[in-house]
Amino acid sequence: MKAFLVEKYGGPAGMRAAEVPDPQVGAEDVLVEIRAASVNPLDIKLRDGDFKAFLPYRLPLVLGNDLAGTVVRVGPSVTRFAVGDEVYARPDKDRIGTFAELIAVHQDDLAPKPATLTMAEAASLPLVALTAWQALVERAHVQPGQKVLIHAGAGGLGSIAVQLAKALGAHVATTVSTAKVDLAKDLGADVVVDYRTQNFEEILDGYDVVLDSLGGENLAKSLRVLKPGGMAISVAGPPDPAFARELGVNPVLRLAMTVLSFKTRRNAKRLGVTYSFLFMKASGDQLRELAPLLDSGKIRPVVDGVFPFDETLQAMEYVEKGRAKAGKVVVSMT
């Protein structure tokens, strides 16, 4: 099959198209013919080797973290799926590889594709939808009436998180550029801060939850808009000791993560709030829980553009250079 491989870390030059063997299908695996995949900032970080300390992949590595497609074979112990089913998934972190014609996915990581969505729309969702769900539902336990700040509300993660927070009954604020203010309002944000002309930390106060996808100074400022007892969850900030324990890393790496996050955790403690780093997990069950929200239109995908499969490298460049206007960039195999 054709796939896009990372042969060496460090940038675009280390990635190319290649013919590789078809995936092996285990007893509980589902072989999926991929119809569409989407590009995430995570793909670029993996290609560049940013996470190789705690995600030690063996190279060459087939890249890609989202898919929608059709089941073409099932392992002998598979009970949830049959040949011909339309599905979508974010494969487990140890089994990524959706920039390819085929992939074998454990049945627990797979879910039926929402009936109202196209393959391209469905492929845009798993990683960001699971991240939003695990941040807002699983970790923050957002309740109706709570105040939630979602940064970058027109981006891939932000556009889904704004809609999920509204579906949970929250009062939602978000930060976007001037050109995306109307989109953020259309997605349901109650307060839209134009970060080009306004400082969110001077406008917002008393928030229960912040979902940060930018890190750095943005995360530091976010701690100050929380009310006492509030929680900042970041997918871009420094990994914390809880993440190190969850990942089961060696003591040296655990110490490094503790040191990296010390300043952020100390500042959070001084403000009477908490900081939590999130690296999402694959979950077919959570994708199933999201399906009614998608099929009812309470959450809708935001797709910036669709590239043909042969132009996967161009799609990654498009995302890396910040050309996407809103939402996700998708690669289509058809």
DSSP assignment of 99-154: SBSEEEEEGGGEEEPPTTS-HHHHHTSHHHHHHHHIIIIIIS---TT-EEEESSTT
Token representation of residue 273: 């709030």
Token representation of residue 111: 């879910």
Packed helices 284-295 and 156-167: angle between N→C axes, nearest 10 degrees? 70
Q: Cis peptide leading into 60, omega within 30 of 0?
A: yes
Count Cβ atoms below 10 Å from residue 112 Cβ, excluding itself.
17
Q: Is 44 helix (H, G, I), strand (E, B) or coil?
A: helix
Strand order in the sheet with 147-150: 191-194, 171-176, 147-150, 207-212, 226-234, 274-277
pTM given for the model:
0.96
Buried b (16+ CB within 10 A) or exposed e, 289-300: ebbebbeeeebb
Percent of the chain as helix, strand, coil, to the nearest 5: 35, 25, 35
Q: Let me know: does 236 contact 219? Beta carbons within 8 Å.
A: yes
**What is the DSSP secondary-structure string of 164-213?**
HHHHTT-EEEEEE-GGGHHHHHHTT-SEEEETTT--HHHH---EEEEEES
Of 209, 151, 207, which Cα lies nearest the Cα of 180? 151
What's residue 56's pLDDT? 86
Token representation of residue 26: 């285990």
Q: Let me know: does 99 contact 65? Beta carbons within 8 Å.
A: no
Q: What are the 10-residue block averages of pLDDT along the chain, 334 residues in total?
A: 96 96 97 98 95 88 98 98 98 97 98 98 98 98 98 97 98 97 97 97 98 96 98 93 80 83 94 96 98 96 97 97 93 92
Rounding to the nearest 10 degrees, give the CA dihedral for residues 305, 310, 314, 318: 20
Token representation of residue 320: 């890396």
Q: Let me know: does 255 contact 269? Beta carbons within 8 Å.
A: no
DSSP state letter for 94 = G
What's residue 54's pLDDT? 79
Give counts: helices (H), strands (E), the chain. Answer: 12, 16
What's residue 172's pLDDT? 98
**How many angstroms separate the most distant Cα atoms in the chain?**
58
Q: Which run of H or E residues covers position 18?
A: strand 15-19
In the chain, the amino acid numbered 71 is V
Q: Give the number of residues written for the chain.
A: 334
What's residue 256's pLDDT? 81
Look-up of token digits 């089913």? 85
Of 312, 243, 186, 324, which Cα lies nearest the Cα of 51? 243
Token representation of residue 124: 């845009």
- Going along the chain from its start, the domains and CATH numbers come out as 2-125+301-332 (3.90.180.10), 127-277 (3.40.50.720)
